[in-house]
Amino acid sequence: MAENGGVLEMTREEFEELVAEALDRIPPDLTRLMDNVAVFVEDEPPADDPELLGLYEGTPLTDRGEWYAGVLPDRITIYRGPTLRMCATREDVVAEAEVTVVHEIAHHFGIDDARLHSLGYG
């Protein structure tokens, strides 16, 4: 990890490890409730939203019914590039990765952005 022209640098492997550590800090009572969801790290978000830190794609647990069977896993993606660009230190990256992971997992549980912002996970 280094700083390059004001932008923090961290290998993808280092960033993936921070995301894994953030996932490990989620209380087991919550992770046991997560169902059919996979977490990925990508370098950059879609071009139409270059500052996006994370994205949840899928059907929240609160919206699943009897029809929900045999579907591909929900997908949580955490984006390395925008996170590193907004953070000044490794500690900032650790904190931001954790907030982003919690934010996207909350979407899996059906919690919307307005509620997340009010809880400080904007």
Residue type, 69: A
Percent of the chain with pLDDT over 90: 53
Closest CA to 76 of 97, 55, 93: 55
Give 4's pLDDT tier (boundaries 50, 70, 90).
low
Segment 74-85 shows an average pLDDT of: 96
DSSP 78: E
If phi > 0 it is left, if psi is from -120 to 50 it is alpha, else beta; for residue 36 that is left
What pLDDT shows up at residue 86? 93
| Residues 102-115 pLDDT 10s | 899 999 888 888 88
Q: What is the pairing mode between strands 37-42 and 74-79? A: parallel
